[in-house]
Amino acid sequence: MCTLYKDDNYALITSNNRKYQKLYDLRNNPEWNMNIANENPETCDDAFEKIKLDAKGYLPLVSRFEFESLKDWYLQKSTFSDKG
């Protein structure tokens, strides 16, 4: 299972056990194509704490999860339209 945290500066995509994480600096990389998680562990820690607070401490874990096999869905353009 994975979770997304996003604020005005960063977006963190993390497996709930924190084994796999992707962090994006939205000011300098609004396309979300440069993962800076390894270089910014404190930012990942801060964002994950906010996730835990929002979840009231409970994040479900799934044992057979392959984070790297996820398609980067957040990079896909929406096919939805608000035009009738």
Helix and strand totals (H; E) in the chain = 1, 3
List, in sequence order, every residue forming a beta bridge with 10; answer none if it has no partner.
25
- State both tokens at 79: 């096919």
- Determine contact, residues 37/25, Cβ cutoff 8 Å: no
> What's the average model confidence in pLDDT over 29-45?
95
Q: How confident is the model at residue 19 (pLDDT cuts 50, 70, 90)?
A: confident
Cα–Cα dist 16/78, whole Å? 26
Whether residue 74 is predicted with pLDDT greater than 90 in this model: the reply is no
- State both tokens at 59: 């994040």
Q: Does domain 2-62 have CATH number 3.30.1120?
A: yes
> What's the average model confidence in pLDDT over 63-80?
56
